[in-house]
A and B are shown apart, each in its own frame.
Chain A
Amino acid sequence: MLAYIIRRVFQSLLVLLIVGLIAFSMFRFVGDPIDNMLGQERTMEDIDRLRDQLGLNDPFVVQYWNFLTGAMQGDFGMSYRQGRPVAEILLERAPATLELAGVSALFAIVFGIGFGVLTAIRRDGVLANVVMTVSLIGVSLPTFLIGILLIYIFSVELGWLPSFGRGEVVRVGSWWTTGFLTESGLKALILPSITLGLYQMTLIMRLVRSEMLEVLRQDYIRFARARGLRERSVNFRHALKNTMVPVITVTGLQLGSIIAFAIITETVFQWPGVGLLFINAIQFVDIPVMAAYLMLISVMFVGINLIVDLLYVAIDPRLRADTTARAK
């Protein structure tokens, strides 16, 4: 068991090292920040001075080493564009994205599992059919279109919800800002969260549904019924738990992509998070910001994957036995 965990952590670190290399390579091969940072009237001396200052004249390995050690301490260098530490800028933007992603994920998981179970156990019900049809639309429409559609209906036509921004935010602690504590902040979260979470919600729902249908055919479900257990217990205690292993895999991956996809939603809703920051950074070839963003996203992906793998073991006793057997 311990060996398994150590192995997985080690693999995760390896992945991060590789991503770090890719992120770092951008410094060398994508665009030249100097062009953007200095105006038209630059001199060769100006350029050289700035290159030195940014460490761009060091050998590749030294630069990579500096990048890695820096990144580990949360130091991603200075933003080419804003002239401030990247970490500071990211920290400022992170709460907006994390709150949005968190609410979206919650929405996707709760409704995804709920609707998935519903459509599986009431396969021929009216509600199940409606949900299935609507979910088809959910998967097939691109995210930005859904966002624009929601804005059109709920902001422009009905005027119920804001069409952009985070609303009023409250500062909590030294750097976290939250939209959960004000009415306008909560209202502002609704449309972007639905936009961002809808696709994942339908994916989770369809997966739960198909897994659930599969599990409901199993002998142990039949045997549970033959022992006179209630439908509720059969469906939720016996069936749902058995669908969880594949569902957790996909859900975990989807949570990672929620953060990645936030770029689109943040652009549509002008949401002041790291996604929007990244889009702006691309326009200005602000490589430290781009690299830091890439690292951040991959840390999250890898972290979620690791948690998913450990969750399997927590849920399925058979895996527990196998991993201990292998570890011994």
Chain B
Amino acid sequence: MADRVQGISSRLREGTAHKPAAPDGGTDKPVLSLRDLVVEIPTRYGVLRPVDGVSYDISAGEILGVVGESGAGKSMAGNAVIGLLDPPARIASGQVRLNGESIESLPRSEMRRLRGKQIGMVFQDPLTSLNPLLPIGEQLAETIQEHLPVTRREARARALAGLEEVGIPGAADRLDSYPHEFSGGMRQRVVIALALCAEPCMLIADEPTTALDVSVQAQIIALLKRLCRERGMAVMLVTHDMGVIAEAADRVAVMYAGRLAEIGPVADVLTAPRHPYTYGLMGSTPLAARGQRRLNQIPGAMPRLGHMPEGCAFHPRCPKAAPACSQSVPQPVVMGDGHLAACHFPMTVEPQEAAQ
């Protein structure tokens, strides 16, 4: 734990997590672009907006960390991208572009073909993500054959290669094993192999380590990072763990009440947050220096979906709130290289902190 934090802070100082970025926060040719994505849930009491005008890009070989309190809309945004919103939730407006093509209004059958083949997804709990009654080789082969024109034998060969790639020891003997015969960490590796077996260019990992033992979390994150680099995948990594963000993500997006509060290179956002919400999450000193992994508690609670305050949704909890904040919604403003924050009165960067 201690040397891991050491690693995090040294990385932050070196600024290796920083990547060249376009003004809107992404590199020139993004795999995924969200543009003003709005997800709505019509209910008896009115229309809820768990995702409200979110825009960001993720490039090939890049990991975007997504953080925010519970209910901020992180999973909703991920589900919207892969087309798995549970009705009545739906994409009300905005665009989801995959390699430049809009996919938000594709017919169901085409969206299905895209899932697994272009976009993979990994869920939180590996214990419940695998069908308990089918051997894992079966589940892999079935998915491979769904997307690729291969024979049963080839599918099994690819399944084996997939298991080896994610580091299952003795993979050849494990093809016919059932999920319950694996440990939690191994199961999450199997889940990752399954999500990636048809070689998608984009991976959504929704809290992939939350349900795991602390001892294996780092391994899974390292695996995701390696796969991202080797395959040149775009990865959306949803997490509550700032250690994970600092270690794996290239950029980080901070969500609050369905909106994007801040986005930028990890080193910048973690060491010099500009949005008061991010600042509150990180605490007043750089996170890594204090060896802290969990997000800071901010007094108060995020507003419930049906009761969004006017203007900036954060103003009831914001120490810097001014009258303007409850009147108009702040738009993202460029704070630095690829660094945006949606705030009327962003934090200023104190020189000695910025220098760190």
Contact = CB atoms under 8 A, between A and B. Distances in A.
A309 B121 CA distance: 37
B131 A242 contact: yes
B198 interface: yes
A224 interface: yes
Interface stretch (A170-178, A251-259, A273-281, A310-318): A310-318
Contact of A228 (B116, B123, B191): B116
Interface stretch (B139-147, B250-258, B265-273, B316-324): B139-147
B133 interface: yes
Interface in A230-247: 230-231, 233, 237-238, 241-242
B107 to A, nearest CB: 13
Given A228-B147, A230-B146, A238-B134, A321 B180 contact: yes
Contacts of B130: 220, 223
A44 interface: no
A226 B125 contact: no
A321 B82 CA distance: 36
B132 interface: yes
Given A219-B123, A219-B129, A318 B180 contact: yes
B129 A223 contact: yes
Contacts of A220: 128-132
B84 A241 contact: no
Interface in B142-175: 142-143, 146-147
- Most chain B Cβ neighbours within 10 Å, of A222, A228, A315: A228
A227 interface: yes
Interface string A146-190: 000000000000000000000000000000000000000000000
A20 B117 CA distance: 62
B195 A317 contact: no
B143 A229 contact: yes
B108 to A, nearest CB: 9
A224 B146 contact: no
B133 A227 contact: no
Given A228-B198, A230-B146, A242 B123 contact: no
A25 B133 CA distance: 46
Contact of B178 (A223, A226, A230, A318): A318
A219 B115 contact: no
A228 B112 contact: yes
Interface in B46-87: 82, 84
A318 B125 CA distance: 18
Contacts of A224: 131
Interface of B: 82, 84, 112-117, 120-121, 123, 125, 128-134, 142-143, 146-147, 178, 180-181, 191, 194-195, 197-198
